[in-house]
Amino acid sequence: MESPKVNELQERLMELGYLDIDESTQLYGPATKYAVSLFQRQHALQQDGICGPETLALIFDNEKGRPYTLLEGTEGNDVDMLQDRLQELGYLGKATGYYGTETIEAVKAFQTRNDLGVDGKTGQITLDKIYSADAVPSEEYEKQVRRQGTIGEFLEAAEEALGSPYVWGAAGPDKFDCSGLVTYCLRAAGSSTGRLNAKGFSGNNNWEEITDIDSLERGDLIFFRARRTIGHVGIVVGDGMMIDASSGNGEVVYRSYLTDHWRNTFVNGRRPW
């Protein structure tokens, strides 16, 4: 479905934290449908991804439309992604795909260790910290020796992912979101960098920061603004081109980042090598 009103819907879903999209469109595609289903899950509506009158009214209701939060009893790609990250940080033993007692206790332990409000819920503040490079691991967690990886294997993994479908929260091997693609390629290259989101990768001060879009090199990461936050990341492959998991296109694509749109939304780059 295409409509100018889809753009308004996407903007509102981004504002509430349900949608990460590289650029707003007039297309009601898989990423928008999934974001609507997350909103429906949060508000105890039928979770079908269809934006009917009841769902639409609630999305634009400033009082009743609640921001994205992971709560007890939820399951889905976003829960899988959260549990993988909690495992990386040493807070969770076994990933179940279900936000139950073990996950609640793991989130509480993370919140305590990272000086956050402790409620076992995963709202935006907790999410930003969990997926940041400075998230504090558990006291019992023994950090592995940090490995940098190799740029050749990194780019090879990105090229092999071309055409794979975009799925929010996915990190391979055959479906990805934008930060999931970066995570997958870093791991394929032998890097021990954890599962961060675009904002987390952008703020990783262990990597050299590039502030000029024209100074980026092969293997760099490039970051873009979506509304008030950093919402998209791509992998620079040279000659002004990048490989990225595009929610707008519904797949991993090869395209130029030197267009007016990307120049206007460019935030920074990072050099992991």
pLDDT tens column, 175-186: 999 999 999 999
- What digits encode the pLDDT tens for the residues 189-235? 998 888 999 999 999 999 999 999 999 999 999 999 987 789 999 99
| 227 or 45, higher pLDDT | 45
- Determine the average pLDDT of the residues in 52-63: 95
User: What is the pLDDT averaged over residues 146-174?
Assistant: 90
* Least confident span in 21-30, 79-88, 97-106, 121-130: 21-30
C-alpha to C-alpha distance for 85 and 107, rounded to whole angstroms? 11
The domain locations on the chain are 4-59, 77-130, 151-271
pLDDT number for residue 147: 60
Tokens 């939304």 correspond to 265
Measured CA to CA, the distance from residue 144 to residue 22 in angstroms comes to 33
Quick one: 151-271 is in which CATH superfamily? endopeptidase domain like (from Nostoc punctiforme) (3.90.1720.10)
Q: What angle do CA 166, 157, 234 make, to 5 degrees?
A: 55
Q: Average pLDDT for residues 230-258, to the nearest whole number?
A: 96
* pTM confidence score: 0.82
pLDDT score for 144: 52
What homologous superfamily is domain 4-59 in, according to CATH? PGBD-like superfamily/PGBD (1.10.101.10)
Question: How sure is the predictor about 2, in pLDDT bands with cuts at 50, 70 and 90?
Answer: low
pLDDT of residue 224: 97
Q: Is the peptide bond before 173 cis (omega within 30 degrees of 0)?
A: yes
Are 55 and 70 contacting, i.e. CB atoms less than 8 angstroms apart? no
Tell me what the pLDDT averaged over the chain comes to: 92
